[in-house]
Chain A
Amino acid sequence: MMSIIESSEIFKSFGKTKALNDISFSVDESEIFGFIGPDGAGKTTLFRIITTLLLPDEGCMKVFGKDSVKDYREIRKNIGYMPGRFSLYQDLTVEENLNFYATVFGTTVRENYDLISDIYSHIEPFRKRLAGQLSGGMKQKLALSCALIHKPGLLVLDEPTTGVDAVSRSEFWEMLSKLRRHKITILVSTPYMDEAMRCDKVALIQEGRILAIDTPARIRDGFTRKLFTVKSSSKYKLLNVLRKFPDTLTAYPFGDSVHVTFVNDKINDTFNSFLEKEGINDAVTGESEAGIEDRFLELMERDDK
């Protein structure tokens, strides 16, 4: 099977800042591939190189088997790109924007309507409205429709769900999964760890370097320690007490509990009496499976040392 993207040892700096540091990965056809990492990790820079908008300092980027520097014209014809910032024409209507993008790529809305109908049908009632006057969720659907209207082989989505509420985020991912049956490869970036599990493959990226790259399940299962959860009604106090306990390796708040790892992966006999002595009388302790965020935290810590 041909790789849709083949990135080999890509480096990119802006002045003293190393934005990308030895980035290698490949993306297969029809895959949803996620880059997961915080702001400033290098996600946008990488996406701009893939979409041929930026030249790498070193390394080779191949998209559809073509070189991103030499063959950029051919690559561009077959890419749909949705940048992080809304960049459609605010003073054109919904319909005009869609027609414009179709025309630029030498096609018509009718020809590829079935591809976008699921998404576009939500905003079609507002087709005469100016794009600048749409709500955030509708803008996102229009931007996705415009990125898809020429039936690209590769869809590149830069943080499509940042600042979007939990319900709309979940709906957005359902739309992406449906695109799979049209054989469109999707490259997507996000700062939300929980979205990693929705991808076929993910790369965890931090400060321009890839910390891990695999299926989300295998990344999660790479967690090396036994994970315990502790709950108490005094959350902040519990966290501080856990950090004081001599056998504690790490203690991070996760939702309503604290995720803890211990020396030798077991809870020392003195643990409960230690908590009580420190004033935590209602602690409930259990074992837990690690999630992908636990693994990311583990990789980041190792990276610090």
Chain B
Amino acid sequence: MNDQAIIVKDLVKKFGSFVANDHLNFEVSPGEIFGFLGANGAGKTTAIRILSGLSKPTSGTVIVAGFDVYRHTEQIKKNIGYMCQKFSLYEDLTVKENIVLYGGIYGMSRNLIRERLGNLLEKLRFREYENRIIGDLPLGLRQKLAFSVAVLHEPKIVFLDEPTGGVDPITRRQFWEMIYETAERGITVFVTTHYMDEAEYCDRISIMNDGKIVALDTPGNLKRQYDAESVEDVFIKIARPG
């Protein structure tokens, strides 16, 4: 019995004659922070859409949170959280209304929603914002709240697609502390970013190029393997042709 959070074997996804994902192979453990890197157009978004049950592979095996993406997409959706770079909360609802709405969508009981709402407002020191409209909040606060909402139902895996784009350097670091804390609770974090220093915060990273995974290891091992000072150097050596 393989109890990995994500299992991907020979995943292929084609759009017509274009191969967006070309035989991807990787596994992600429970509680691991997995960085999914690659140049624009390398095929990351295609893969994330498949892993989150929004799109079916052309061929290959994909098991997410123990469920098969061909047959059990509804189960997968209940067991994952998702947050993307574009804001995912409703701007004209208040903080509280957003949390109650998402709790309802996740099928949580009223009592559980009330309890998590309280914890969340306490933890983020968000009490004073409870009844504020999301659109009026600074970006950094919104992103932290969006992340908290993405894990409101304690999913097995949370997918974060460029969660810190455009965020100031202090908030960016606070955001990563929330990621660390989430991973310590056993939730798997699957994250994409264009900030190469953030890639160093991951337990392991993969780097995609032209639909293929061309490197996959811990940041430390990759730096040794490519004789590079930083993950950015590794990335440039791999992704810059010639």
Contacts and interface: CB of A to CB of B under 8 A. Distances in A.
A300 B201 contact: no
Contacts of B201: 235, 253, 255
Interface stretch (B16-24, B47-55, B144-152, B173-181): B173-181
Interface in B40-73: 40-41
Interface stretch (A65-73, A143-151, A165-173): A165-173
Interface stretch (B94-102, B117-125, B126-134, B233-241): B233-241
A252 B195 contact: no
Given A40-B138, A191-B166, A165 B40 contact: yes
A269 to B, nearest CB: 29
Interface in A135-180: 135-137, 162-170
Interface in B130-169: 138-140, 162, 165-169
Interface residues of B, number: 38
B41 A167 contact: no
Assign chain A's interface to a size class.
Answer: 20 to 34
B220 interface: yes
Nearest to B229: A255
A162 B165 contact: yes
A256 B194 contact: no
B232 interface: yes
A206 B168 CA distance: 9
Contact of A193 (B38, B169, B219): B169
B29 interface: no
A255 B176 contact: no
A116 B206 CA distance: 36
Contacts, number: 86
A31 interface: no
Contact of A38 (B166, B173, B177): B166
Nearest to A257: B200
A253 B138 CA distance: 23
Contacts of A300: 168-170
A191 B165 contact: yes
Contacts of B173: 252-253
A39 interface: yes
B125 to A, nearest CB: 14
A230 B231 CA distance: 18
B236 A236 contact: no
A166 B194 contact: yes
Contact of B195 (A135, A192, A239, A296): A192
A169 B40 CA distance: 11
A80 to B, nearest CB: 24
A249 B202 CA distance: 25
A230 to B, nearest CB: 14
B165 A166 contact: no
B184 A135 contact: no
A297 interface: yes
A167 B183 CA distance: 29
Given A166-B194, A169-B194, 11 more contacts: A38-B171, A39-B167, A163-B194, A165-B239, A167-B39, A192-B195, A193-B169, A253-B176, A255-B231, A256-B200, A300-B169
Q: Which 3 A-B pairs have the closest CB atoms?
A: A38-B168, A39-B166, A236-B180
